[in-house]
Chains A and B, each alone.
Chain A
Amino acid sequence: MALATQAQIEAVAAELTQCADIVHERLMKGVKRKEIERHEAQLVFQDEIILRQKANGLYIDAANCVVANLAETQKSLLTTIDTAKQKLKKIKDITAFIDLTADLIVLAAAINAAKPSAILAALKEVKKDVENMKEAAQFK
């Protein structure tokens, strides 16, 4: 019998856990009433925890099912996030372009004034802006 759906796996795991609970309850009662001696009790307990390990194993299977089922959903989310990032990038691009324009104006004035130090400083700023625009172009 193959365990197909996540719900079925979950149900069997719950059953196994419940069985283990019942075994433990009976075991404790039996020992307290001196009906079961130590060695036998330990064997029964071993069986109980084997049931619990099997249940936990099934919970791992169920968890893997959830993850597998979410694969498509993850892709959907990522697509939505990508679209948003594109829109944010567009604004970032415009900002970078405005920065560039501002600094080009400064550069023009510096060239006009024919001051080498001012020209150098202005060129540095323009270079930074071009880098930013390139960076903005890679913004994913």
Chain B
Amino acid sequence: MRFIQVTITFALTMLLFGCANLKEIQDFAGQSAKLSGYTELTTRFRDTYYREQPYLSGDADRLAQENDAQRKAAYQDLLTVHQSVTVYMQTLATLAGDESFDLSPGIDSLSSGIKAHPDLGIDRAQVDAISGLAKAISKWGTSSYQRRALRGFIKEGNEPLQTTLAGMERLIDYYQKTNDNEWKTIKGLLELELLFTDQPESKLLATLARAHTQTKAAEYQLASKKYLEAKKGIQTIANGHQLLVENLDKLSKQEVKDSLRQFSKDVRVINNHIESM
């Protein structure tokens, strides 16, 4: 009995030292999986023609319709680029999770099964001791399995992830530039026509046009901010994952955990910011 007690204490102590605290990784992956903005901005890109159409006519309108068809055709593929990053991050969060590699619940139910049947001839106290030991050992075993799985995943995934994130940043750049042309078209028409609307009989029209320009300006300013925030978010995720891959052997070091916690915080702030806009 005493021997078992000593063994359990020893096993539990080993467990505490052996387990890398993976919560920071889980948080980082969780926040990164939620990256806001890209989907919304991709949809905004698709709907460009809907917004600019009132200001177009003639050949320009015809060209715009062609562009519209092409954007709609590309929409799904643009979304898929992001989806693979989301699934990667969700998988990373699961790999770093507490419950994914925890066999304790199973062992618990095994031991209560045994305890509830004294006719099986096993002493209650012994069952507790043995199940405690089994849990400690399995946790230790699965935790090193977990660490190896996690390291392999991060190492293998870094390059394709960085490439995909760079691609997403480039795409948001194109969305932004398209948006710039859209805004200049709208603003351009309004300010040009306003120059010819200086007669007293067109005072109402001029006023409406100016008010409308103000509203639109605010709308496009807000959109501008979203592009910047989304790009910042992608860069932060890229940097966070780079940190992970460069510190695979030191994942439990305080400085690594601290840096990672900061990255998670940054991504969360950016996500909240975009969602509130």
The residue that B177 contacts in the complex, of A59, A67, A81, with Cβ under 8 A, is A59
Could you tell me the distance between the alpha carbons of A115 and B105 in the complex, rounded to whole angstroms? 27
Q: Main SS of chain A's interface residues?
A: helix
Could you tell me the distance between the alpha carbons of A113 and B117 in the complex, rounded to whole angstroms? 10
Residues on B with C-beta less than 8 A from A128 are none
Residues on B with C-beta less than 8 A from A67 are 74, 77-78, 81, 167, 171
Does A121 have its Cβ within 8 Å of any Cβ on chain B?
no
Q: Give the nearest-CB partner of B100 in chain A.
A: A88
Binds A, one of B3-11, B148-156, B217-225, B228-236: B148-156
Q: Is the CB of B177 within 8 A of A31?
A: no
Residues on A with C-beta less than 8 A from B152 are 83
Count of chain B residues near A, Cβ 8 A: 68
Q: Is the CB of B117 within 8 A of A105?
A: yes
Q: Is the CB of B84 within 8 A of A78?
A: yes
Residue of B94, B113, B117 contacting most chain A CB atoms (<10 Å): B113
Binds A, one of B18-26, B65-73, B263-271: B65-73
Q: Give the nearest-CB partner of A16 in chain B.
A: B181
Q: Give the nearest-CB partner of B149 in chain A.
A: A87
Can you list 23 A-B contacts (CB < 8 A)? A10-B174, A17-B177, A20-B181, A24-B188, A28-B191, A48-B188, A49-B60, A49-B185, A53-B63, A56-B182, A57-B66, A60-B70, A62-B174, A70-B81, A70-B164, A77-B85, A77-B160, A80-B160, A84-B91, A88-B149, A95-B103, A98-B109, A105-B120
Residues on A with C-beta less than 8 A from B66 are 57
Q: Is the CB of B160 within 8 A of A73?
A: yes
Supplied contacts A74-B81, A77-B85, A83-B152, 12 more A-B pairs, CB within 8 Å: A13-B177, A27-B192, A45-B188, A48-B188, A49-B188, A63-B74, A66-B167, A67-B81, A80-B153, A91-B101, A103-B109, A106-B116
Residues on A with C-beta less than 8 A from B163 are 70, 73
Q: Give the nearest-CB partner of A113 in chain B.
A: B119
Given A81-B87, A95-B106, check contact A105 B113 (CB 8 Å).
Answer: yes
Could you tell me the distance between the alpha carbons of A20 and B182 in the complex, rounded to whole angstroms? 12
The residue that A91 contacts in the complex, of B103, B160, B170, B177, with Cβ under 8 A, is B103
Does B12 have its Cβ within 8 Å of any Cβ on chain A?
no
Q: Is the CB of A60 within 8 A of B101?
A: no
Does A55 have its Cβ within 8 Å of any Cβ on chain B?
yes
Q: Is the CB of A109 within 8 A of B71?
A: no
Residues on A with C-beta less than 8 A from B113 are 102-103, 105-106
Q: Is the CB of B156 within 8 A of A80?
A: yes
Residues on B with C-beta less than 8 A from A91 are 100-101, 103, 142, 145
Does B15 have its Cβ within 8 Å of any Cβ on chain A?
no
Could you tell me the distance between the alpha carbons of A6 and B174 in the complex, rounded to whole angstroms? 11
Q: Is the CB of A69 within 8 A of B167?
A: yes
Minimum CB–CB distance from A30 to chain B (whole Å) comes to 10
The residue that B103 contacts in the complex, of A49, A63, A84, A94, with Cβ under 8 A, is A94
Given A50-B63, A63-B74, A66-B171, check contact A87 B81 (CB 8 Å).
Answer: no
Does A54 have its Cβ within 8 Å of any Cβ on chain B?
yes
Does B258 have its Cβ within 8 Å of any Cβ on chain A?
no
Going nearest first, the 3 A-B pairs with the smallest beta carbon separation are: A98-B106, A109-B117, A76-B160
Given A20-B181, A21-B184, A31-B192, check contact A109 B119 (CB 8 Å).
Answer: yes
Q: Is the CB of B84 within 8 A of A52?
A: no
Given A63-B174, A66-B167, A77-B161, check contact A38 B101 (CB 8 Å).
Answer: no
Q: Is the CB of A63 within 8 A of B78?
A: yes
Q: Is the CB of B167 within 8 A of A81?
A: no
The residue that B94 contacts in the complex, of A24, A52, A88, with Cβ under 8 A, is A88
Does A136 have its Cβ within 8 Å of any Cβ on chain B?
no
Does B275 have its Cβ within 8 Å of any Cβ on chain A?
no
